């Protein structure tokens, strides 16, 4: 399907390995879009998958994967929390591709010292998560929306929230607050930008099998006194048991929903927060 032929997408947080941003870049490219692959600049690291051992080079690696599909890609490194970097990056993408039709706000704070009870949560950790998830998404959306309005071509803005943005669970105060906040931002932007033919919607993934899940397990393994792989397996088993569809999600599950929201199939949707979690929360 080439629903996105002739479109240009900017995807933040797209340089990760086994990640939603990577899968989304590949899905949008396979539907015909050119992709600006954005992320922080990170040191390369070794990975091992079905194609063996290799070096993962973040946005450069995802750019090569997109190009291997025959699509155009442009790697760009910037910090979404830095206003000047965001504005400069949007200008650079426009200079390279000439337009931005789709923005996927996928970048998110990694789990770390924020995964503690709220009474033990340091202010700095709360701020770190809100700064990336909420303020960063605001800055990128603002910069791209300004250009979309100027270009008068309409557009699609997709915000990656979470089921944690629809219901609160223990040890997620900063994450949940930021992801709830993103749904508020989605609704406001949808109302403000709708008259410019720009659709703004959010997707709320449940537990997805990404390398982020490894980090979540690492963040709590010391506390549980178990190896992180065992903590991860327990986390997955608990979630699967509580999920009607009987599995956790794949990055491709979320990429499919994003591709739909980015396409003209979703032209009459605005301000929605679409939950994709196998029925774990039925809101
Ligand atoms: N994996 C899940 O189970 C799950 C569930 C619900 C929601 N989500 C959300 O989906 C999105 C993608 O998650 P993922 O699982 O692929 O994890 P991920 O950690 O691989 O993706 C997040 C990306 O954001 C980037 N990032 C972090 N801070 C940044 C900054 N300041 N500037 C620019 N980029 C920055 C990271 O480098 C990383 O590549 C996140 O917003 C996450 O909150 C994930």
Which sequence spans correspond to the domains of the chain? 8-208+250-276
pLDDT category of residue 250 using cuts at 50, 70 and 90? very high
Residues 261, 12: Cα–Cα separation, whole Å: 16
Residues 22, 255: Cα–Cα separation, whole Å: 9
Torsion of CA 82, 88, 90, 95, to 10 degrees: -170
Residues 33, 104: Cα–Cα separation, whole Å: 13
Given a cut of 90, whether residue 225 has pLDDT beyond it is no
Residues near 91 by Cβ (< 8 Å), separated by ≥ 6? none
Each residue's pLDDT tens digit, 116-129? 999 999 999 999 99
pLDDT category of residue 244 using cuts at 50, 70 and 90? very high
Mean pLDDT of 221-240: 89
Ligand 1 pocket, mutate which of 212, 216, 243, 273 (most atoms under 8 A from CB)? 212
Is any atom of ligand 1 closer than 6 Å to the C-beta of 161? no
Given a cut of 80, whether residue 1 has pLDDT beyond it is no
Residues 276, 280: Cα–Cα separation, whole Å: 9
Ligand 1 pocket, mutate which of 108, 129, 205 (most atoms under 8 A from CB)? 108
**Upper half-sphere CA count for residue 4 (Cβ side, 13 Å):** 32
Each residue's pLDDT tens digit, 255-279? 999 999 999 999 999 999 999 999 9
Alpha carbon 212 to its chain's center? 12
Tokens 């327990």, residue? Answer: 234
Q: Across the chain, what does the average pLDDT equal?
A: 96
Least confident of 47-51, 111-115, 196-200: 47-51
| Gap from CA of 20 to ligand 1 centroid (Å) | 7
- Quick check: is 175 catalytic? yes
Is any atom of ligand 1 closer than 6 Å to the C-beta of 165? no
Residues 227, 232: Cα–Cα separation, whole Å: 9
Mean pLDDT of 49-56: 90
Query: Is the distance from CB of 75 to CB of 40 less than 8 angstroms?
Result: no
Ligand 1: atom nearest CA of 19 is 16
Is any atom of ligand 1 closer than 6 Å to the C-beta of 141? no
Given a cut of 70, whether residue 283 has pLDDT beyond it is no
- What is the radius of gyration, based on Cα positions, of the chain? 18
Instruction: Provide the whole-model pTM.
Output: 0.97
- Quick check: is 156 catalytic? no
Is any atom of ligand 1 closer than 6 Å to the C-beta of 40? yes
Least confident of 37-51, 73-87, 174-188: 37-51
Query: Percent of the chain at pLDDT above 70?
Result: 100
Is any atom of ligand 1 closer than 6 Å to the C-beta of 15? yes
The CATH architecture to which 8-208+250-276 belongs is 3-Layer(aba) Sandwich (3.40)
Residues 219, 217: Cα–Cα separation, whole Å: 5
- Which pair of tokens denotes residue 278? 């196998």
Each residue's pLDDT tens digit, 175-219? 999 999 999 999 999 999 999 999 999 999 999 999 988 888 887
């Amino acid at each position: 399907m080439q629903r996105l032929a002739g479109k240009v997408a900017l995807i933040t947080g797209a340089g990760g390995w086994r990640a939603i941003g990577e899968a989304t870049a590949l899905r949008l490219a396979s539907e015909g879009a050119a992709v600006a692959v954005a992320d922080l600049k990170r040191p390369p690291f070794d990975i091992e998958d079905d194609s063996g051992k290799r070096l993962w080079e973040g946005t450069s690696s995802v750019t090569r994967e997109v190009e291997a599909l025959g699509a155009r890609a442009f790697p760009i490194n910037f910090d979404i929390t830095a206003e000047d970097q965001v504005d400069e990056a949007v200008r650079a993408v426009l200079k390279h591709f000439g337009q931005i039709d789709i923005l996927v706000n996928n970048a998110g704070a990694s789990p770390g010292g924020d995964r503690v009870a709220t009474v033990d949560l340091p202010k700095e950790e709360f701020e770190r998560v809100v700064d990336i998830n909420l303020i960063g998404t605001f800055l990128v959306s603002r910069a791209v929306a300004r250009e979309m309005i100027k270009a008068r071509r309409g557009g699609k803005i997709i915000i990656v929230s979470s089921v944690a943005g629809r219901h609160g669970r223990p040890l997620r105060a900063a994450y949940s607050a930021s992801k709830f906040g993103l749904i508020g931002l989605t609704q406001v932007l949808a109302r403000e930008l709708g008259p410019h033919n720009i659709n703004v919607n959010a997707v709320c993934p449940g537990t997805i099998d990404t390398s982020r899940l490894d980090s979540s397990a690492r963040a709590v393994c010391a506390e549980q006194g178990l190896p992180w792989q065992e903590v991860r397996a327990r986390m997955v088993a608990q979630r699967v048991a509580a999920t009607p569809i009987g599995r956790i999600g794949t990055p491709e599950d979320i990429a499919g929903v994003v591709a739909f929201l980015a396409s003209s199939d979703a032209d009459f949707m605005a301000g929605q927060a679409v939950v994709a979690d196998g029925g774990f929360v039925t809101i």
